Chains A and B, each alone.
Chain A
Amino acid sequence: MKLTVQVNEGPYQHQASDSAYHFTKAALEKGHEIFRVFFYHDGVNNGTRLTTPPQDDRNVVARWSELAEKHDLDLVICVAAAQRRGIVDEGEAERNGKDATNIAPGFRISGLGQLIEGGIQSDRLVVFGD
């Protein structure tokens, strides 16, 4: 089955991003195709490489990056939500005159159309959040 996963909540604050990760990983292991993972609302905070969780805890951001590299996942952060919350890649830094970037490896910033396309192209849209 072809799936798009939507993540609506940030890391550590809310289990939604953990559940989305475990679901995505399990779906891939079962042979399903993940068309895209789309991060929206505070979910965009899953894509900052500047997080430093305690060493005895899981690293939610690095875990997404590793999964993306292993399975060539398309991890998309919503640009409008990212701009509000300060998730920045090189293009965004240049466009908005910011002095730094913080996007984690394997993530990219793009528009809401990517979410809609995920809904159209996939057999199921699976949403994680409140």
Chain B
Amino acid sequence: MTTKKFMYVNRRAPYGTIYAWEALEVVLIGAAFEQDVSMAFVDDGVFQLLKGQDTSGIDMKNFSPTYSALGDYEVTKIYVEKESLEERGLTLDDLQHLVWEDEDEDWAEKDSIRLVSRAELAEVFAGQDVMFNF
């Protein structure tokens, strides 16, 4: 089967709309197709990766633990836009520590998150075959 570069772009906060959760559903299903998958978090999308989310006050499912499973689905390239974090007063320390295990290096644990500038992310986007926007 053809392998294409798939990029899932997440632009919205996690609970105000369903886009973030339904985007994650696409990524998880899509993992079975063994494509070259990346995800990007920009604008309010960076809030999706915040650690310590508590949704008990809004009666919605807290799906944020699902992001830590992405490594097991071989989603290992997670781009976070630096400017989006800064504009919201956030740093990488505010986000979950997402990792994957590299089977070529005796299952060494590696960071999934790649902090990139807006300009760098534009270059990453330019190299993709299929772009999903959520």
Contact = CB atoms under 8 A, between A and B. Distances in A.
Given A41-B19, A127-B132, A112 B4 contact: no
B131 A116 contact: no
A129 B19 CA distance: 11
B33 A80 contact: no
A80 to B, nearest CB: 6
Q: Is the interface of B mostly helix, strand, loop or mixed?
A: mixed
Contacts, number: 46
A116 B29 contact: yes
Interface residues of B, number: 19
A81 B17 CA distance: 13
B6 interface: yes
* A: contact size bracket: 10 to 19
Contact of A125 (B1, B18, B33, B132): B132
A111 B28 CA distance: 12
A81 B25 CA distance: 10
Contacts of B6: 116, 119
A101 B74 CA distance: 38
Contacts of A115: 26
Interface of B: 1-2, 4, 6, 18-19, 22, 25-26, 29-30, 32-33, 35, 129-133
Interface of A: 6, 40-41, 80-81, 84, 111-113, 115-117, 119-120, 125, 127, 129
